[in-house]
Amino acid sequence: MFFNLILNFKRAVLFIKASKVLSLSFVFMPLMGCAVATGLIFASLIRGISYAPDLEEVLFNYTTLGFAFVESFAFLLFFVAGIVIIL
């Protein structure tokens, strides 16, 4: 009886750990999208400067704004991952 109780407890703990790993993998998958978006933003900056060199400062300002938005989403994902680990 006592052995079954310990075995069930170990299974429950293993299930909780497995669910945390799966949820973390789902949280970190959009980080790949953040990396792709960062590459696209800076590729667009290079293309825009090659088309209109006189607008370099304006394009750079918009690029830094877009990069900050994408990185804020990435930091939000890290925050969610931390909450998943704690809970």
- pLDDT tens track for 57-83: 999 999 999 999 999 998 898 888 888
Widest CA span in the chain:
80
Two tokens, residue 81: 């991952």
Whole-model pTM?
A: 0.69
Q: How far is CA 24 from the centre of its chain?
A: 10
Q: How far is CA 25 from the centre of its chain?
A: 10
CATH of the domain at 70: 1.20.20.10
Give pLDDT, residue 1: 63
DSSP 3-state of 66: helix
Provide the residue range defining the domain that includes 44: 2-86
Two tokens, residue 53: 């060199």
In the predicted model, what is the mean pLDDT of residues 25-30?
Answer: 82
- pLDDT level of residue 28 (50, 70, 90 thresholds): confident
Number of compact structural domains in the chain: 1
Q: What is the 3-state secondary structure (H, E, C) of 55-85?
A: HHHHHHHHHHHHHHHHHHHHHHHHHHHHHHH
